[in-house]
Structure 1
C-alpha cells in the first residue's frame, strides 16, 4: 500500500498551505427543490422521479419555499448577509446522471455572502470567512458495479436529481489540515442545530471538496491549487490535505511545477490521484435560468427566519459554562448535538448539582455508550435517571463504586437507572458510629500495619481504608472512612 509523501520538518516549515473548502449540504425538505417528488434517501432506484426531475420537454420547475427558508436560516446562522435578490442560473455540463444536461444553481448573484465561522486553534479562536452560500439542485448518482461472469457496468439512479442543496464556499483563510477539520466540525454543528440538514456524510447529505496550494512563508501570491474530491469523512479530509500539502512541496522542491488539477482521494492507499487537469475542466457556460424568476427575499422573511433560529452551539456553550459552572470541555461534549444539550439541560434543571450531572455523563455514560456502540437516544439510562443518580451521590447515599455497579447493571439488563436502583437498593453508610466499628475491627486485625503507621509510614492509612471498604461491602462513605481511619490511628 502506498504511503503519504514525506518531507522533512525543516522543508515543511518553509511553506505555508492555503486551503479553501466547498461544502455541499442537502436540505431536509419533504420534497425536492423544483417539483413535488419525495426527498428521501434509500428508496428503490428511479422511483422518486417525475418529468421535472428527468428534464422532459415542457416540464417546468417551481421553487420549493421550504428550501428557501432552510437556506436563509443556514445563511443567517453562518453570519452571512442575505441578498434581497438572487438569480438562478443553468450550469451546463453533460453527464449520465444529469438528464437535463444542466444543473439549476446560482452563479454571480447568490442567495448570501460574507459570513464566517470562528474555530479553535492552538493560538486561540480564528475567524474563517465564508465567501458565499448559494442554492442549487443535486444531480443523480452513477453506480459503478459488476456481476459475476459479466463485464463491469454503470447504472444511473436519478432519485437524487433535484434534491435541494446549499453550497457553502469558504475564503482561502485555512492554513492547516487541523483548522479545516475544526471548520467542518463547527459548520456541521451549526447546520445540525438549525435543523436544515441531517448532515449525514454516509448518505451524501454533506459532501466536501478541498482546494489546496502551498507557498513560501511570507509570500503574498497564492500557489497553484489542486482540488481534492471524493472524501467522505472529516478525518479523511484532514488526511488528504496532509498528503496533498507534502506532495506539492515535494514537487516544488524537486524543481518541477505544480499542475492545477482535480485529484481524487484514495482512503485505502492514503494518497490522492490525478483525475483531470485544468485543460480538461468543464466550461459550464452559465446563463440565467429562463424558467425561474429572480428570487426575492424580503426583510420580513429574513427577520422571521432570524427570530426562529435556535441558540447556536458557541453561544450555548458559553451560557452553560456560566450557568451550570461546568468546564468548557464538558460544555463542548454536552453541546455536540442539540438533542444532547436539550436533554442535559432538562436534567440539570431538576438536579441538585448540574455539575455532578455533567460529570456523570462524561465519566460514566458516554464511555459505556461508546463501548456498546450506542447513540445517546439508544441509552438505557435516561437523563432523568442520570439526574436521580447525581442527586443520590450528592446526598451521600451512593458511593462512586455503587454508582458504577448500578450503571453496569443498567447497561447489562437494558433498564433505566431508577428501575435498577429500586430493585438493588444499595445504600451508602454515612453513620459515624457504624463506620467506627469497621475501623476498630480493621485496626484490631492488623497490628503490624498499625505499628508501621505509628513509626511514620503514613501511607499505610490507605491500607486500612481498603479494609474498611471491604468490611462494609463497599457501602461506607469513603470520605468519612478516610477521616475516621486517620483519627483512630493517630489516637
Structure 2
C-alpha cells in the first residue's frame, strides 16, 4: 500500500530516469524445495502431481498429539547447500515456530528457523555482462512448505473476487531451504539483471548438488524479491516492498524492474512507500498490492518444543564438503572450452536447459556438436509437442549417443535416426533393437542404388540434362527422388556420387 496525493495511481517512471534519481537496494529470499522422498517432519510422500490431499497425515496436518521428527536427509541437504554457498555451518541450532494464520497452513504456525539457522555468513558471485557481483548470504535455514490454495471464480485467480477456494495439503511439510541475502547495494541500472543472475545461479547450484528438482515452473525454486529506493547511496535504506513467489528468471527480472519504476513514480508524486507484499502478474508484467508486510515480532517466534536441536559434528560437515560438485560457473567455462562451441551455440544449450543432457551424451561417447544437434532440434521439438521438460522427453543421453553411433557407423542416416527415436519412445527397446525390428538399415549396395539412380534419371530427363550441362547443384532433385524410392534408406552421399559419375 502507498500513501500520498497520487500514490494509488502513480505513473510508472521510465527505468533510466528512475535510476538517474534513485539508488535501488535489493534483498532476495529464495525458497528451494528439496527432493527428499518424504516430508520434513513426517513420512508422507513428496511425489509431485498426486491427487489433492492424498499425501497427508496427523503430523503434517498438525492434529493434536502428533509429534514431528526431523528428516535427516533434509538436514544433510541443508548443510551441503550451506557449504556450496560458502557459509559457516552452525555447531548447534534449533527449529522455531513461526506463528500466523492462513488457510493453507493447518497448524496455524510454520516450523522454521529464526535466529539460529543451520547456515549463515556466506556468499556467491554472479556474472552480469562480464561484471562480477558478489551477493552476500545472510543465512540459509530449514523450514516446511505450506499447502496450496486454488481460488475459483473472479478474473485474477487470487482470493479477492473469487467465489470459493480449494485447499490441497499435499505440499504441507515438504522440506524447504530458504536462502536470504544481505542487502544488495551498488547494482544501479543492473539491479534487475543481478536479481535474475543470482536466482539463476541458485537454481543451477541446486541442480548440481542434486538436492532439488529446481523446476521453477513447479515452484521447486521461487523468489521473494525485496526492492527499496533511496535518493543516494549514503542515505539509509528506503521502505521495501516484497514481491512474493516469483517463479521464473524472466519474471524475477521483470518484477524488480517494475518495482523500481513504480516506486520512483510514487516518490516523484510525493507519496510514501509502505512496507507490503505484492503479487507479480505475468500477463501485465506488473505488480499489485497484496497485504501489509509483517515484521519478525508479528510472527511471535519461539523455540519449537517438540524437536531436539540439530548439532552436526565437524567430521560430518567435512565429509559432506567432500561431496560438493564442481561449481556450475566453473563447469560452464570448462565445457565451453572442451566442446569447442561458439558463444551463441553454448548460449542456446544453456537457454534450453540442456547443459547436463549434452554433457551426459558426450560422456557416453557422442561428439559434442552431434549431441547438441539432437537435443536442441529433434528432441526439443518432441518435448515441446508433448508439453514436457526436455529432460522428461523419454530418451536418455546414453540412447542419444547410441543413435549417433549408428549414424557414425553408417547403419542409419539422420532421417532414419528420427524413426529410431520414434521406436525408442514407443517402447520398442534400445536404438539397435529398433533398427533391427523396423529394418531401418541404410542401403549401401551399389547394385540396388545404381538401379534406383538409373530409374530417377530416366524419370527426370530435364534434370539429367541440366547436370550434364554443368549445373551440378541440380543433382539434389535426383537424390530426393532416389531417397523417396528407397524409403529414406539410401546413403545420400553415395547416391550423389553415382549420379555425378553417370552424368558428368
- TM-score range normalised by the length of the shorter chain: 0.7 to 0.9
Where 2:298 maps in the other structure, the secondary structure is coil
Counterpart CA distance in 2 for 1:53 and 1:19 is: 35
More displaced, 282-291 or 324-333?
Answer: 324-333
Q: What is residue 390 of structure 1 aligned with on the other side?
A: 404
Alignment partner, residue 474 of structure 2: 463
* Distance in 2 of aligned mates of 1:74 and 1:274: 33
Matches within 5 A, 1:346-361: 347-348=364-365, 351=366, 353-361=367-375
Q: 2:322 aligns with which of 302, 307, 331?
A: 307
Q: Structure 1 pair 131/472, CA: closer, same or farther in 2 (3 Å)?
A: same
1:83-232 pair list within 5 angstroms: 83-98=90-105, 100-124=107-131, 126-141=133-148, 144=151, 152=163, 160-173=171-184, 175-201=190-216, 204-215=219-230, 221-232=236-247
Q: What is the CA–CA distance in structure 2 between the aligned matches of 1:398 and 1:46, rounded to whole Å?
A: 48
**How far apart are residue 225 of structure 1 and its match?**
1.7
In 2, the alpha carbon distance for the partners of 1:461 and 1:40 equals 59
Q: TM-score, normalised by structure 1?
A: 0.76
Structure 2 residue aligned with 1:367: 381
Q: For residues 341 and 446 of structure 1, what CA distance do their matches in structure 2 show?
A: 42
Structure 1 distance, partners of 2:269, 2:24, is: 18
How many residue pairs match? The answer is 471
> Would the alpha carbon gap of residues 181 and 428 (structure 1) be closer, same or farther in structure 2, given more than 3 Å must change?
farther
1:139–1:335 distance in 2 versus 1, CA, 3 Å: closer
Give the corresponding residue for 1:456. none
Aligned to 1:421: 435
1:11 aligns with 2:17: yes
Alpha-carbon separation, structure 1, partners of 2:23 and 2:36: 41
Contact 1:37–1:49 (CA under 8 A) maintained in structure 2: yes
**1:215–1:223 Cα contact (<8 Å) kept:** yes
- TM-score, with structure 2 as normaliser: 0.74
Report what 2:89 is aligned to.
82
Is 1:344 aligned with 2:361?
yes
Q: Per the alignment, do residues 253 and 54 of structure 1 end up closer, same or farther by CA in structure 2, a change over 3 Å counting? A: same
Counterpart CA distance in 1 for 2:103 and 2:464 is 87
CA RMSD in angstroms comes to 4.6
- 1:34 deviation in Å? 3.6
Could you tell which deviates more after superposition, 105-114 or 269-278?
269-278
**Which of 18, 29, 51 is the matching residue for 1:22?**
29
Match status 1:332 vs 2:330: no
Secondary structure of the 1:54 match is coil
CA distance in 2, matches of 1:95, 1:127: 36
- On the 8 A contact 1:192/1:337 being kept in 2, the answer is no
Describe the shift of the 1:267–1:380 C-alpha distance in structure 2 as closer, same or farther (beyond 3 A). Answer: closer
Structure-2 change in CA distance of 1:138 and 1:487 (3 Å): same
- Other structure's SS at 2:273 match: coil
CA displacement at 1:72 relative to structure 2: 0.9
Number of the residue aligned with 2:6: none
Gaps of 5+ in 1: 454-459
* Residue 242 of structure 1, aligned match among 249, 254, 257: 257
Q: CA deviation at 1:46?
A: 8.0
Contact 1:131–1:169 (CA under 8 A) maintained in structure 2: yes
